Amino acid sequence: MRMAVEHAIQNNMMCLRSHSSIQTIIRHPFSSFSLSPFHKVTSLQHIRCCHNPLSYGAAEKEMSKKVGKKEHHLWKKRDSTGSGQKALNLVRIVSELPNEKEAVYGALNKWIAWETEFPLIAATKALRILRKRSQWKRVIQVAKWMLSKGQGASMGTYDTLLLAFDMDWRVDEAESLWNMILHMHTRSISKRLFSRMISLYDHHDMPDKLIEVFADMEELGVKLDEDTVRRVARAFQTLGEEEKQKLVLQKYKCKWKYIHFKGERVRVRTDAWDEKC
């Protein structure tokens, strides 16, 4: 065995001399090798010839590299692939149905029968398409079905549903939905929803209800937009309360507005512009 080791060393030395690049002999990091007569060699794997070897520190560092941890998210990304086609398919299905709740809900349930999760993106896109086509009855049916499944309970869905109730002259259902929103989302109702409800009451000539919504906006500190200010002022005028009308205009009406004059954006006072018009 000792002769075999010496023969291996001689071969490795010849290999080192035959190459112009730097060659080294790397000992196994967990063994000590010597040629003393008391040392037993049980393997020839301790000696090797390397053309481009690594140093011991670099090799140890490379061995100690750890595999990166997998990231675990608490949310699950919804797949939007093909959602547009699914939405168009849903619009086609509901457009061909009779105006009956059982028939519509049955078709909608079949539409999601083979889905592993609720296709919320496709359903939201279908609502948007139906809204653009002014199919208000279908908007109401699809939105109510989504809410019955516990899906789509967002401010955007509520806004679309309130608009559909407005255009389909279902004021009572709009009031029921609005009371539910006030009860469940008192501190998180958007200005857009308040404006939508004020527009609904203005559209149906209900100034008393409109003033109630305005009072809720003041209590919650929601800022009024220009259209809402005009509707509230008109409601006070209809009720014969001119003083409150002036107070509303004085408090909430913007003093400045921007107009386009000769291709430029110009800032003018609102009262001066109204007198000129």
Flag whether pLDDT at 79 surpasses 70: no
pLDDT digit string (tens) for 153-166?
999 999 999 999 99
Rounded CA-CA distance 127/205 in Å is: 28
Q: Helix, strand or coil for residue 186?
A: helix
pLDDT 10s digits, 94-136:
999 998 999 999 999 999 999 999 999 999 999 999 999 999 9
Average pLDDT value for the chain: 79
Asked if residue 143 has pLDDT above 80, the reply is: yes
Return the closest-CA partner of residue 201 out of 228, 241, 237.
228
Phi, psi of 13 (to 5 degrees): -65, -40
Q: Are 121 and 83 in contact (CB under 8 A)?
A: yes
The pLDDT confidence band at residue 259, using thresholds 50, 70 and 90, is confident
